[in-house]
Amino acid sequence: MPDFREQTIDWLATAAGLERGHIAALLEQPPDPALGDLALPCFRLAARFRRAPQQIAAEIAASELQWPDFFLSIEATGAYVNVRFDPGAFAAAVITAIRESGGRREPVDTEAGPVLIEFSSPNIAKPFHVGHGFSTILGESLARIHSYRGARVLRFNHLGDYGTQFGRLIVAWERWRDDRALEEDPIAELTRIYVRFHDEVENDPTLDDEARERFRALENGDAEAVALWQRFRNLSLESFSRIYRRLGIAFDNWNGESFYSPFIPAVIERLRAAGLLEHSEGAEVVRLDDLDLPPALLLKSDGTTIYASRDVAAAIWRWEQHHFSRNLYVVGIPQTLHFRQVFAVLDKMGCDWADRCQHVGFGTIRFQTGDVNSGEGAQISNFSTRAGNIVKLEDLLNETVAKTRSIMELNQAGRDDGMTEEEIAAASELVGRAAVQFLYLKNGRERDILFSWEEMLDFEGDTAPYLLYTNTRIASILRRAGGDGADAADPADLRLLVSESERELATLLACFDDIVEQVARLSEPSVLARWLLQLARSYNRYYAATPILATAEPGLRRARLALCQAVAARLGLGLGLLGIETVERM
């Protein structure tokens, strides 16, 4: 938004004799654009002025104070003061601001510390399933949003690389290993032997004792056990890295649960010293009755540490290292209670930064039947789910890319300016990937996702392909425009953009920074996803009804092209903030 809003606030504040802040807090955008561009509801001013809100609105609107030159009208409607901008001046200012921004903005996050975002966090030796996909795609989008706002962002991957299951894995490895299979597909092989352990332990319970023994050896730094664990970890990381590379994600920190384990004794000591630790059924807990929460279990009866204590230690480590302004955990909703307990324990320990920690929960992705975030009960006819019933993110991506490719081949068939095989292959990778990313981001994160190929690949639907396609269409118009095009439009040309649909587009474009603020405040990229769809719909209506290249008047033609260019710039920037790359053609 150009500073029209600021100048309007100034005017209203002076006219009403109130503080700017007061006006800014009340000012809104009328739901019906016919009413105006900004509106001041006067209800809450009634007590202060001891007059009816309608009368206050009328008086402000009638003020003799000189208008800024972009005001078209200012009217009282009931208890509202409606301000209408000169549409040409507004469009010109919006487009100029976008052109000058170059896709950047003045930093608005000037908080002292970095924004730490923990996301993805898959488990070593286990498949990277579609639930981790949710965390990964949501987390990356939040990271990009915060960077855009000017924050220093730290991407943390809290690998699940510790716990008693590693004892079992070592035992299974020693008995049933297959080196070649491990080379070929490490995760599949590690899953196979892990499942085998579970089958065999039914008949031979001593395996469990052995596994406990091996885990203790690992905790005590036994060279052989550590080397094996290290190998499993490296192999898993290699396989996870493939996905991160594909999605263009780079983490700043890979400290897994194992990293924090050595810090736990100090945490336990601190809790004990503060008198917070209690014995309960052989274990050590922190009572959280005052918060109506069940006790947090921090130490098991056999003295081994657990998930929650690792999280308490991790939060303290992160704070001491980084003094974050926010510490976000992008983790599924089933872990809500866990995080409330962890944060409550931190608070009781006197960590006055505990309220900077926040759980960003998300829903479950459901396929035709069953629920596969937890990796259970999925029955998918469309593609195979090896390794039990877990749907792996990589399979979902591959299958979506393949389907995208068939659609694109069909669309391109018979065109004389068609794309080459290679171009189709490259574009379908990007479009297919984008379709999956958008599927995760388009609805409120706490909602479950009902998976459907038809929906996510509908080029006319609420999908990434639709947004990308709109973007390529604009690019093609701009290319065809030739020399006297968007870049040649000067402010006088831009003031010719006065039609209702042009005003609608300018108004939408002006919201961009507010939308980004909402995403950051709510940790909700869906707000941006929805806005992008709205912008694309509005643009496509405009495009269908308005001659652009065929505009006779040269100044107006340049201005319309510049408007198209501004829409494409915001589409590209917005998609980028969702983690989605645009394509040239599709």
Contact 131, 364 (CB under 8 A): yes
As a whole number of angstroms, the distance between CA 394 and CA 128 comes to: 8
- One of 132, 146, 392, 403 is an active-site residue; which one? 132
User: What is the amino acid identity at position 361?
Assistant: G
Cβ distance to ligand ARG smaller for residue 135 or 428: 135
Least Å distance between CB 385 and ligand ARG?
Answer: 18
Contact 95, 48 (CB under 8 A): no
**Interface segment toward ligand ARG; rule CB under 6 A; list 11-19, 119-127, 239-247, 276-284:** 119-127
Q: Report the candidate in 95, 160, 156 with the shortest Cα–Cα distance to residue 127.
A: 160
Check the CA dihedral 464-469-475-481 and report its sign: negative
Q: Does 375 bind ligand ARG (CB under 6 A)?
A: no
Residues 6+ apart with CB under 8 A from 481: 549, 561
Q: Is 451 exposed, middle or buried (0-12, 13-18, 19+ CB in 10 A)?
A: buried
Q: Does 331 bind ligand ARG (CB under 6 A)?
A: yes
Q: Does 161 bind ligand ARG (CB under 6 A)?
A: no
CB atoms within 10 A of CB 406: 12
**Interface segment toward ligand ARG; rule CB under 6 A; list 118-126, 273-281, 349-357, 567-575:** 118-126
Q: Report the candidate in 430, 428, 408, 445 with the shortest Cα–Cα distance to residue 529.
A: 445
**Selected binder of ligand ARG within 210, 219, 284, 311 (CB under 6 A):** 311
Contact 325, 356 (CB under 8 A): yes
Least Å distance between CB 230 and ligand ARG?
Answer: 18
Cβ distance to ligand ARG smaller for residue 109 or 118: 118
- One of 22, 126, 198, 279 is an active-site residue; which one? 126
Site string for ligand ARG, 456-495 (x = CB under 6 A): ----------------------------------------
User: What is the amino acid identity at position 400?
Assistant: T
Contact 26, 60 (CB under 8 A): no
**Selected binder of ligand ARG within 329, 469, 531, 543 (CB under 6 A):** 329
**Interface segment toward ligand ARG; rule CB under 6 A; list 50-58, 121-129, 354-362, 568-576:** 121-129
Cβ distance to ligand ARG smaller for residue 16 or 331: 331
CB atoms within 10 A of CB 413: 8
Is 129 tagged catalytic?
Answer: yes
As a whole number of angstroms, the distance between CA 546 and CA 560 comes to: 9
Is 392 tagged catalytic?
Answer: no
**Interface segment toward ligand ARG; rule CB under 6 A; list 117-125, 418-426, 450-458, 528-536:** 117-125
Is 126 tagged catalytic?
Answer: yes
Cβ distance to ligand ARG smaller for residue 173 or 343: 343
Cβ distance to ligand ARG smaller for residue 311 or 524: 311
As a whole number of angstroms, the distance between CA 244 and CA 397 comes to: 12
Q: Does 239 bind ligand ARG (CB under 6 A)?
A: no
Report how far apart, in Å, the C-alpha atoms of 60 and of each of 5, 37, 39 are.
17, 17, 12
Cβ distance to ligand ARG smaller for residue 254 or 459: 254
How many residues contact ligand ARG, by CB under 6 A?
9
Cβ distance to ligand ARG smaller for residue 85 or 329: 329
Q: Does 160 bind ligand ARG (CB under 6 A)?
A: yes
**Selected binder of ligand ARG within 121, 400, 463, 470 (CB under 6 A):** 121
Q: Read out DSSP for 321-374?
A: HH--SEEEEE--GGGHHHHHHHHHHHHHTT-TTGGGEEEE----EE-SEEETTT
Contact 45, 55 (CB under 8 A): no
Q: Does 158 bind ligand ARG (CB under 6 A)?
A: yes
Least Å distance between CB 373 and ligand ARG?
Answer: 9
Residues in contact with ligand ARG by CB under 6 A are 118, 121-123, 158, 160, 311, 329, 331
Question: Catalytic amino acids?
Answer: 126, 129, 132
